Structure 1
């Protein structure tokens, strides 16, 4: 059984997820963007042993603490897709630009692509490559629990920005409609910022990518 708790970090209130396998109590941080000590305390409070770090994409508020945590815990880094290499390399500059605490670039232990799987304890998560916000953005999906960790692809009532380097609006819409919607209306998703929602709710209400909004755009 997959368990999860959301821990907002950084000035951008990015939703870092602490996820774990209830049977083994082995877990992972999804998008540890900063405040490493706060995240470590959350893992300790929940009795979770961190065995890896999962990264949806390499913007500073999602990846700022990856290098420090991986080094401190001696655990592998899985994700994002290789197309985000340029963002990983620019993490120090991103932090300087936005006035964030210094951050280091890192080398993922494993780059991810669509169709891959990652494990957390005895739990398996499917990987979907969902470019548009960044070219190397991936999401993690638990079919058994009907939950997805989608980074900055989709939000409650909104979608990811596409005005950053190598962002593309049409690609993002395609990722949402072709890679997320088929996972099912009942699937709960944890966005990179803000409140949780379901894909069904967004198809009904989202003004950017809802079914009515897209029908009107045709």
Structure 2
């Protein structure tokens, strides 16, 4: 099922995680659910009136089973370049494995047993790089290559798993699912300081904040 959060910004509610579709300069898929979410994502595209083949760009906040899971299943209809942080891009290309000595890396290795890597072009995105109306912000901690994307024009932020939502407030990514929680906190403060104002905060877990998302991020930055 797809829910329109703002004009041209759709949430796909999946198995404990959300993906998003944004009508930017080209239809842009943001994250891609678990390997078991293909039917739900296709239903979401239908609800939004967009064909998978129309997607011109995929913005990944990071590599995790529940954020990259359907990419391979959507191919070959999906013929778009994937953008994500350099460390996570190397994992998604199969060039490196998550480090098993880190507890989160070990979880990613386990998740990799259920993840088929997509046969698509994968580009490492640089901090400050523009992709359509979005600017990429390197926000490591949950994963080393985690990236948030903020569109000043659309007033939308794609926050991935840097934060989660509960009862209308944002909270930092927790220790169990993060490489480095100190780094998570630094990234939250940095993004709150650098990002332009936005209203819609799209998160991987919890409910997206459709109004006042920027204020919620600033409030979290002051609390931590």
TM-score normalised according to structure 2 size: 0.74
Q: Secondary structure at the match of 2:123?
A: coil
Q: Secondary structure at the match of 1:189?
A: strand
In structure 2, which of residues 110, 126, 130 is the aligned counterpart of residue 113 of structure 1? 126
Distance 1:186 1:141 in 2: 8
Q: Is 1:38 aligned to residue 51 of structure 2?
A: no
Structure 1 residue 94: Cα displacement? 6.1
Q: Which residue of 1 aligns with 2:71?
A: 66
Q: Structure 1: which 5+ residue stretches go unaligned? A: none
Aligned residue pair count = 196
Q: Secondary structure at the match of 1:73?
A: coil
Structure 1 residue 149: Cα displacement? 0.5
In structure 2, which of residues 83, 99, 107 is the aligned counterpart of residue 79 of structure 1? 83
Q: Is 1:132 aligned to residue 141 of structure 2?
A: yes
Q: Which residue of 2 aligns with 1:28?
A: 28
Deviation per residue, 1:100-126 (Å, 9 max, x gap): 99321246431112111112xxxx211
Distance 1:117 1:179 in 2: 16
Structure 1 residue 40: Cα displacement? 2.1
Q: Which residue of 2 aligns with 1:191?
A: 203
**Range moving further from structure 2, 106-115 or 143-152:** 106-115
Distance 1:94 1:72 in 2: 29
Distance 1:174 1:61 in 2: 24
Q: Which residue of 2 aligns with 1:200?
A: 215
